[in-house]
Chains A and B, each alone.
Chain A
Amino acid sequence: MLLRRLIRPVTLILGLVIAGSTQAHHSFAVYDSSRSVTVKGVVTKWQWTNPHAYLEIDSRDAAGAIQHFVLEGTSINIMIRGGWRSSMIKAGDQVTAVAAPSFNDERVGLLLEVTFANGDKRDMPIPAGYTFKRTP
């Protein structure tokens, strides 16, 4: 119930767009905007596609077992305009990602930011991305 109270304002905020706006590819209501997860691991796939890009990471959990994460970005057109390039990430890179987890599966998330192997950090230009909270 608390979660529902938290995500409702986000839905409303996402609805406040420029008059006549086109729709986003899909609703981000599948993701929990009230918290974030930090995923550190090795890139297994960097998928540079529309409608959205995907970053897949293998990360070791506390017990040492490998967990596979599927993190969704936004349209690569919006990413290109925001300064992203496909060459910034490749399979095998060590990265740290911050994501809003899906309500269904902690290992699926909306990618909010990535820290690359060289230490550079870049935000994902998600529409109304500021509505997604970063939590420790």
Chain B
Amino acid sequence: MMKMNKFIALTLGLVVVAPLCASAQKAVQPIPDITGVWEAVRDTTAPAAGQAQLKPPYLKEKQALTQAVSEANSKGEPLSTTTQRCLGDGMPGMMGGPFPMEILQSKGQVTIIQEAYTQVRRIYLDKQQKSVDDVEPSFFGSSVGHWDAGALIADTIGVKQEVLYRNTPHSKDMRIREKIYFAANGFLRDEVTIEDPVVLEKPYTYTVSYRRLPDYQMLEYVCEDNRYYTDEQGKQRMHSDTPSR
């Protein structure tokens, strides 16, 4: 009987106390200071980037677009892109280089400002994500996040289907999951996982690493004079093709 009681006490201890300890440990793990300016860098120690594996019709679509881009470039007549139209990358492209980006931590919110095209996204902390049907499609989508064991876990939905990352099509159901954390080598990392049950065979993950730019003050970026325009064939053209301007 005594042995049985001991066993029950020990089991109860493991079941009840151990998770409490773990949660207490989690609770005391401080939120890291990621406020500041960051620059994307090459990081040979980062996990290798996964590739998007598309379902057949979408793969065909991507291959056709890739070929069209390549052929247009070979002719010296590149196709129009959102950035050429000064619209910015949207998500997840805005989290890359070569321009710096600034992260601001404030109560209930993490704000990320990409210098190029002055792109801004807001990650609302400890909020419930909406359903895709309740989100109006946009460039940066709807992002919520929370801190977990020193990492910012973000969830983004509602990115416009016109906003392409690396010419990869996506459905309205695309979900971008991010884990933003400090790597052992001191770089800040954004581990980005793209989920899209409609377009992708399976989710894929890539990582962007950043180094801190401690003294850099962000510059404005206003598309003041975009001399490029899109012609009726979807190609980029420059207004000064006839340099009489």
Name the residue of chain B whose CB is nearest to the CB of A8.
Answer: B74
Complex Cα distance, B129 from A12, in Å, reads 39
A25 to B88, CA, bound (A): 8
B40 touches A103 (CB 8 A): no
Per-residue B-contact encoding for A100-111, CB less than 8 Å = 1, 0 else? 001111011000
Question: Contacts A11-B70, A77-B219, A107-B243; is A20 near B40 (CB within 8 Å)?
Answer: yes
B156 to chain A, nearest CB (A): 14
A-B CB pair tally, cutoff 8 Å? 138
Against A, the Cβ 8 Å flags (1 = close, 0 = not) of B189-206 are: 010100000000000001
In the complex, the answer to whether B240 meets A22 with C-beta atoms within 8 Å is no
Q: A20-B40, A22-B114 are in contact. Are A50 and B223 (CB under 8 A)?
A: yes
Asked if A49 meets B225 with Cβ closer than 8 Å, knowing A20-B206, A23-B83, A25-B83, the reply is yes
How many positions in chain B have a CB within 8 Å of any CB in the partner chain?
Answer: 53
Q: Interface code A10-28, partner B: CB below 8 Å = 1, 0 otherwise?
A: 0100000111111111110
> Are A21 and B97 in contact (CB-based, < 8 A)?
yes
Report if B207 contacts A (CB, 8 A).
Answer: yes
Chain B positions 101 through 126: 1 when the CB is less than 8 Å from some CB of chain A, otherwise 0? 00000000000001110000000000
Tell whether, in the assembled complex, residue B114 and residue A29 are in contact, meaning their CB atoms are under 8 Å apart: no
Q: CB of A80 within 8 A of chain B?
A: yes
Partner of A51, one of B70, B207, B223, B245: B223
A77 touches B84 (CB 8 A): no
Contact of B96 among A7, A22, A31 (CB under 8 A): A22
Is A40 at the interface (CB under 8 A from chain B)?
Answer: no
A21 and B89 alpha carbons, distance in the complex (Å):
10
In the complex, which residue of chain A has the Cβ closest to the Cβ of B244? A68
B236 in complex: contacting residue of A18, A22, A27, CB < 8 Å: A27
Interface string of B224-238 (1 = CB under 8 A from A): 111110000000101
Q: At the interface, yes or no: A132 with Cβ under 8 Å from chain B?
A: no
Point out residues on B near A: beta carbons under 8 Å.
Answer: 40-42, 46, 49, 70, 72-79, 81-84, 86, 89, 92-99, 114-116, 190, 192, 206-208, 219, 221-228, 236, 238, 240-245
Closest 5 CB pairs of A and B: A27-B78, A103-B76, A20-B96, A29-B73, A20-B208
